[in-house]
Amino acid sequence: MRVRILCLLLLLPACSDRLSPYDYGLSWTCQSAEGCERAAELMLIDRMGVQNGFFYFVSSRDAEFYSTAQRVHSDSLPAGCFWLYSLRLDGSELEPSKVCSAPGGFDLELSIPKRNPATYSQWLVEARELGW
């Protein structure tokens, strides 16, 4: 377990063979007071992997879904947090999203466009280790 944590924190290339591609399960929580659109679609995205500075999102129920995003560190964020760039959902690239380390994984704050692209839904996505 300690080797796994070290690999995840440092994202060492030598550790890549120790990590399975999708080590985290995702749970989605709507944070918008007026509710969130696309909940059923988003909740299909239920797995995430992290390797070499990239986050990989997949669905165990929709084999066609696959999306990647890049981790970017920033001094403007608190310790343990970083930006996630280039995440694409439903054909649209999302604005950079804040991600913070949490016990057993990560917490992602996503702003996802609604059907009216001028409005957004706020989501908290909890990524937690699936276990070995």
Q: Residue with structure tokens 């991600």? A: 99
Domain span including residue 25? 20-129
Cα separation, 3 vs 119, in Å, equals: 43
How far is CA 25 from its chain centroid?
10
| Per-residue model confidence as pLDDT tens for the chain (132 residues) | 444 444 444 444 444 444 455 699 999 999 999 999 889 999 999 999 999 999 999 999 999 999 999 999 999 999 999 999 999 987 889 999 999 999 999 999 999 988 887 889 999 999 999 975
Listed as own residue / partner, the contacts of 52-56 with beta carbons closer than 8 Å and 24 or more positions apart are: 52/11, 52/13, 52/16, 53/11, 55/84, 55/87, 55/99, 56/21, 56/22
In a domain, 113, yes or no: yes
In a domain, 90, yes or no: yes
Cα separation, 52 vs 32, in Å, equals: 32
Q: How many domains does the chain have?
A: 1
In a domain, 42, yes or no: yes
